[in-house]
Structure 1
Amino acid sequence: MIKVEKLTKRYAGVTAINNLDFEVEKGEIVGFLGPNGAGKSTTMKILTGYLPATSGSASIAGFDVFEQSIEARKRLGYLPENTPLYTDMRVSEYLRYRANLKGVAGRKVRQAVGDVLELCNLREVEHKLIGALSKGYRQRVGLADALVHDPALLILDEPTIGLDPNQIRQVRELIKNLGGKRTVLISTHILPEVEIMCSRVIVIHKGKIRASDTAENLLKNQRTAGSMRIEAKVGNDNATADLLKLPGVKDVVAEKDGDYTLFQVRLEANTDPSEEVMNLAMTRHWGVRELTRRRTTLEDVFVELTHADS
């Protein structure tokens, strides 16, 4: 559905993306991740026809986004981070207007608008002015706009930004239900959402692809660190130095909490020194009130990949 080869974009003195190569297959929901300034938005703007590339190629459903831009965009629905809506129009009026602009045949406009009103749970506000809607409803109107011409591909840039937890859950379920029939490329900073929604993850950093795999495989294969939390009375012992000597311990941060010290311990990948910590505590007669091992998360993978020097 998406094919990108040697895609490069340079501004004056700055290379935003450099020789990107990736593909997104039909029916996939792919998370496109990276820190601010990594090149995510630049890549999305090129794919959606808002920005030309310096070199390389990109295609959507086999249509070149530069040479066959209109055909490519017919198959694309785009929800930008800040959804541009006409706030003085009513929801259904706006969606009819957008359907006509996107070339939906006259007889099919009513059906298309009705379908996205149902899909995005907008029936109860279809006659309201967009300017009177909450942030959550406006985001759903933007998503309905992206879907009204029944595109094969959706590109979503931070679709849950500014939403409350209930609204995030609703949008997440909607996006999950779109997978299979439609291909979805989604950029977001909410990494737990990516683990729930996405079949695959692409991580970009400093304009280059750092990883492309399922979240499960990234957690297994990357040299990512887990962590451990320890709360203990350690007296006058130099407990930080003692913990750093244990196998698998990468870093220790200590913070006092009355008579107790709270230790945040970063671990090497695939290690669990819990037994060694307890043995050390018993030997030194520390009073331990908590010892918690936290599993490696996609956030850990993200931090490792985007803090790499190369």
Structure 2
Amino acid sequence: FLGPNGAGKTTTLRIITTYLTPTEGTVYIDDLNITEHSTELRARIGYLPELNPLYAEMAVYDLLVFAASVRGITGRRFKEALGRVMETCGIREVLHRPVGELSKGYCQRAGLAVAMIHDPQILLLDEPTAGLDPNQIAEIRKLIKKLGKEKTVVISTHILQEVQAVADRMVILNKGQVVADGTTAELMAGFQGKAQLTLEIKNASEESIQGLAVRFPEIQVQDQKLQDGAGRLELEYPTGRDLREQIFGYAVESGWVVLEMSRRQARLED
């Protein structure tokens, strides 16, 4: 999930984990309704929140013992699970150190180990690289890519480069709505062939703005912030055509006063 702060990414993840009950709509995992099968589905999900809730005074080993016991994993099963997460998450060298003494990168690795102690099929990671330095970010992204070969990994982030680095599919959220959904390659390619034109105008009627899209079907009105016919109009159209002259001609014909016109390549960040 990609989107700005407040887009609904964390809320969506919490609904998937069954921590929150949706007010509308339904989530299915393996054809099971999460509301009706919450207990069963929790066993299939591992969740790493953005604010990693680890006990600072506990050693990593004790933390894993606690997390495993909550899920009924003890004895030989725990030894097997411990060996698996130590190897996968790379925490062997800090296993007996208190969490409070770990770097942020190792805290994230310890949090991942807790989330994976029961070997879930699905991993939900909320802003997994937030607050890390560049080297730690690279290490966590590499680990996420590795996990993605074995499990379904869902991350939330507001950083486009993170999605490009680790994700095969991208869902873009804004204000609680899905605004784009597709493979990362498809969505990136879709924006590379578009240009954006921003106009500062006066004396523009709503009818004339609607008429612009009728006159030029390849133009899409992306945003308009006008009051009494004055303000900003944002248009988008294929890069292959330079429509500035035609748009300016239409503006003059429609009685607009054009104060400014600027063109740039459309970006997925927008």
Indicate whether 1:200 and 2:169 are aligned: yes
Shift of the alpha carbon at 1:43?
1.0
1:35 corresponding residue in structure 2: 4
Task: Kindly indicate whether the alpha-carbon contact (under 8 Å) linking 1:59 and 1:72 is maintained by their aligned counterparts in 2.
Answer: no
Indicate whether 1:301 and 2:268 are aligned: yes
Task: Kindly indicate whether the alpha-carbon contact (under 8 Å) linking 1:100 and 1:106 is maintained by their aligned counterparts in 2.
Answer: no
Indicate whether 1:148 and 2:99 are aligned: no
Task: Kindly indicate whether the alpha-carbon contact (under 8 Å) linking 2:44 and 2:122 is maintained by their aligned counterparts in 1.
Answer: yes
- Separation in 2 of the partners of 1:69 and 1:120? 27
Indicate whether 1:117 and 2:114 are aligned: no
Query: SS at the partner of 1:55?
Result: coil
1:102 corresponding residue in structure 2: 71
> Where do residues 128-207 of structure 1 align in structure 2 (5 Å cutoff)?
128-207=97-176
- Change beyond 3 A, Cα 1:102–1:269: farther
- Separation in 1 of the partners of 2:60 and 2:182? 38
Task: Kindly indicate whether the alpha-carbon contact (under 8 Å) linking 2:2 and 2:159 is maintained by their aligned counterparts in 1.
Answer: no
Structure 1, residues 150-200: CA drift from partner, whole Å, max 9, x if none? 100001100000001110111001000111320011001221121121101
Structure 1, residues 280-305: CA drift from partner, whole Å, max 9, x if none? xxxxxxxxxxxxxx986xxx2131xx
Note the aligned Cα RMSD (angstroms). 2.5
Higher normalized helix content (fraction of residues): 2
Name structure 2 gaps, 5 residues minimum: 197-235, 243-263
1:81 corresponding residue in structure 2: 50
1:216 corresponding residue in structure 2: 185
TM-score under structure 2 length normalisation: 0.72
- Separation in 2 of the partners of 1:159 and 1:269? 35
Query: SS at the partner of 2:47?
Result: strand
- Separation in 1 of the partners of 2:62 and 2:156? 29
Name structure 1 gaps, 5 residues minimum: 1-31, 227-266, 274-293, 304-310
Shift of the alpha carbon at 1:148?
1.0
Query: SS at the partner of 2:72?
Result: coil
1:236 corresponding residue in structure 2: none
Task: Kindly indicate whether the alpha-carbon contact (under 8 Å) linking 2:5 and 2:158 is maintained by their aligned counterparts in 1.
Answer: no
Which contiguous aligned blocks of 4+ residues in structure 1 show a shift greater than 6 angstroms?
none
> Where do residues 229-248 of structure 1 align in structure 2 (5 Å cutoff)?
none
- Separation in 2 of the partners of 1:73 and 1:64? 12
Higher normalized strand content (fraction of residues): 1
- Separation in 2 of the partners of 1:57 and 1:216? 28
- Separation in 2 of the partners of 1:209 and 1:199? 17
Structure 1, residues 125-167: CA drift from partner, whole Å, max 9, x if none? 1010111111111111111111111100001100000001110
Q: Work out the percentage of aligned pairs sharing the same amino acid.
A: 47
- Separation in 1 of the partners of 2:131 and 2:66? 26
